[in-house]
Amino acid sequence: MMQEKDSMFEQMTARGHDRLCFHHDKETGLRAIVAIHSTALGNALGGTRRWYYESEDDAVYDVLRLSKGMTYKAAISGLPMGGAKSVIMMPHREFGRTEAEARAMGRFVDTFNGAYIAAEDVGVDTQFIDWMAHETNHVMGGETVSRGGDPSPWTALGVFHGMRACLLQAGLGEDFVGKTVALQGVGHVGQNLCKLLHGAGAKLIVADINKTNLDTAVDEFGATVAHVDDILKAECDILAPCALGGVIDGNMVEHLRCPIVCGAANNILDDPEEDAVALKTAGIVYGTDFVVNAGGLIHLAGMHLGMTDDELVCKNDEIFTTTQQILELTEHSASSYAAAVEIAEQRIANGQGLSVHAS
């Protein structure tokens, strides 16, 4: 008998979504979903994830969770932007990307008339973005047709700033010299983060299912390799999940051997409300994902909004103070996640895309 599950509308209502749109392109077979969580603060910029999902339900779950996170990310970063995300459902794991597929996605994105602006996420690179940009102006992160380039160096820089704030909060100083950081996933963001951390004197432990990426981290940054099944339990000063989401749940918290969790992945916590409380109870400082990984959004959304290069750098630097302020508020809040959500929701309710310093 089929398990009873929440309807699409129930899932949207539960998370407060505005729109959930499905598209099938007859010519290419593209199957894609755009979820617009909120445009209360402005049009919504969010990446396109190209991934093999076991089921449509998994794809819907992912896009709903990711798009809501983008609303919080924009609000907490003081950007006058909403939150949205899209997913492309690959027919199988090895399905190669094509220009025709990207253009079909571009045409889908164009139907939102700018309410949704697409960008990179897992599985989508600058070339894919530029192919999409042949069909729509509402895409950021390309190098030729679209602009902004790969956002991952900016995301990594923001995570680095977030880590500094976490180190201070944990009473470990702000210095990375002699500190050990364990990274789960050394893809686009992970490699850039390795570079920054290595340059700042940190020791690195890395795990990845992609051997090429792993070898780069070892060869270029002197990283030590851990098995993918062991990386989350590595003894370290900072655990940095930089692969996919949902990797830390209540059970995993008991096995962590680190004073800090701070990484680039979206939706690091399986159940953010509960798991963030478990981290606080365990005395682990958590740099909330949508706060510390906002650097890429800040870069592309900032360019879209017409910010200057200096303004973009300052806005990325703000991730340090924003993280610090949230960690200070955590003392009087259920968790750092709850403190961050409270600020973001207040801004959205007030219709303010303002800097955190103004609140």
Asked if 210 is part of the footprint of ligand NAD (rule: CB under 6 A), the reply reads yes
Asked if 122 is part of the footprint of ligand NAD (rule: CB under 6 A), the reply reads yes
Asked if 250 is part of the footprint of ligand NAD (rule: CB under 6 A), the reply reads no
Q: In whole angstroms, what is the distance from residue 336 CA to residue 353 CA?
A: 21
Shortest distance in whole angstroms from residue 144 CB to ligand NAD: 19
In this structure, what token pair is assigned to residue 214? 């792993």
Alpha carbon 72 to its chain centroid, in Å, reads 11
Shortest distance in whole angstroms from residue 223 CB to ligand NAD: 13
Q: In whole angstroms, what is the distance from residue 277 CA to residue 271 CA?
A: 10
Nearest residue to ligand NAD, scored by beta-carbon proximity: 187
Asked if 293 is part of the footprint of ligand NAD (rule: CB under 6 A), the reply reads yes
Backbone angles phi, psi at 286, to 5 degrees: -115, 115
Shortest distance in whole angstroms from residue 283 CB to ligand NAD: 26
Number of Cβ within 10 Å of residue 103's Cβ equals 20
Q: Which is nearer to ligand NAD, 309 or 331 (CB)?
A: 309
Q: In whole angstroms, what is the distance from residue 234 CA to residue 247 CA?
A: 14
| Residue whose entry in the numeric block shows the structure tokens 């030729």 | 144
Strands 260-261 and 238-241: parallel
| Residue whose entry in the numeric block shows the structure tokens 């907490």 | 76
Asked if 39 is part of the footprint of ligand NAD (rule: CB under 6 A), the reply reads no
Asked if 102 is part of the footprint of ligand NAD (rule: CB under 6 A), the reply reads no
Backbone angles phi, psi at 241, to 5 degrees: -70, 115
Asked if 225 is part of the footprint of ligand NAD (rule: CB under 6 A), the reply reads no
- Is residue 125 a contact partner of residue 150, using CB atoms and an 8 Å limit? yes
Q: Which is nearer to ligand NAD, 120 or 135 (CB)?
A: 120
Q: In whole angstroms, what is the distance from residue 238 CA to residue 163 CA?
A: 8
Instruction: Point out the residues that are catalytic.
Output: 85
Q: Which is nearer to ligand NAD, 101 or 333 (CB)?
A: 101
Q: Which is nearer to ligand NAD, 301 or 339 (CB)?
A: 301
Among 18, 101, 135, 208, binds ligand NAD (CB under 6 A): 208
Among 43, 152, 169, 323, binds ligand NAD (CB under 6 A): 152
Please report, as ranges, the residues that interact with ligand NAD according to CB under 6 A: 120-122, 151-152, 155, 184-190, 207-210, 213, 228, 242-245, 264-266, 293, 296
